[in-house]
Structure 1
Amino acid sequence: MTNDTDRQLIRDAEALLEREHACLLCGDLAALAGLAEEKEAQLARLREIGALEPAIVAALRERAARNARLLDAAMLGIRRVSARLNAYRQVRRSIETYDPQGRKETIAGAVVHRLERRA
């Protein structure tokens, strides 16, 4: 059995995992950076407790695993967006086509940024 201080640490850990979950669901990636440091500190405090009841450990582990799955999905989405943006940049710089023999050919293009003034 745990004492009141230990129970409060467990409640704090649960609340932290729920805040992380909410940030992941709404896409608040900036807030996640601060929560990572807070999670590490909370984990260190939980380790000081020593042996926790298996049900408590299982509940915390499940919440952490749920958040990890969401974080993995968010990272995958970010990587896909990055790849898509890189593809758009590549299209702006050149165009790929095929010659009469079916070989891929890249035609370089120059992006001109100039302002035309009219009277």
Structure 2
Amino acid sequence: MAPETATDILQALDDLLEQERCALLTGDLDQMAVLLDRKTDLIDTLNALEPEQQPDLENIRGKVMRNQTLLDGALQGIRQVAGRMAALRQLRHSFDTYDESGRRHTIEGAVVRQVEKRA
């Protein structure tokens, strides 16, 4: 059953923002995609209401801002993990070290494996 009144829509959006918060706190990024579609539908429904029917959104503004902060933190964490993984991949290929005078030396780490075919 789809919400019909502005109050129903607002309550559904409020509930959805709580679910979004839980998904962000637990790192359930798959759930975030599902919630985004539902949130978009609810917001579109709110926007389709006549101006005199549109509710005051101040009550949920704080939840939206809270979730945005959590989402920003999650994205920052994902970027940091991606950067760390790239650094670890780089270590497989080479390792840079410095001598006492500050000159860099590269130690190659990748072993090239070749298969020789014989008839």
> Taking structure 1 as the reference length, what is the TM-score of the superposition?
0.80
Paired with 2:60 and 2:100, the residues of 1 have a C-alpha distance of: 62
Query: What SS class does the counterpart of residue 60 from structure 1 fall into?
Result: helix
Give RMSD over aligned pairs. 1.9
2:23 corresponds to: 23
Per-residue deviation, residues 45-87 of structure 1 (Å, max 9, x unmatched): 111233545xx41122111110000000000001111111111
**Counterpart residue type for residue 20 of structure 2:** E
After TM superposition, give the deviation of residue 112 of structure 1 in Å. 6.4
Asked if structure 2 preserves the Cα contact closer than 8 Å seen for 1:14 and 1:60, the reply is yes
Paired with 1:75 and 1:68, the residues of 2 have a C-alpha distance of: 10
Paired with 1:66 and 1:111, the residues of 2 have a C-alpha distance of: 48
Instruction: Give the number of aligned pairs.
Output: 108
Paired with 2:77 and 2:111, the residues of 1 have a C-alpha distance of: 29
Runs of 4+ aligned residues of structure 1 deviating over 3 Å after TM superposition are: none
**Counterpart residue type for residue 41 of structure 2:** A
**Counterpart residue type for residue 73 of structure 2:** A
**Counterpart residue type for residue 93 of structure 2:** R
1:33 corresponds to: 33
After TM superposition, give the deviation of residue 92 of structure 1 in Å. 1.6
Please say if 1:14 is aligned against 2:14: yes
Gaps of 5+ in 1: 114-119
1:47 corresponds to: 47
| Identity value in percent | 39
> Taking structure 2 as the reference length, what is the TM-score of the superposition?
0.80
Paired with 2:36 and 2:104, the residues of 1 have a C-alpha distance of: 46
Paired with 1:110 and 1:20, the residues of 2 have a C-alpha distance of: 43
Q: Larger deviation: 13-22 or 98-107?
A: 98-107
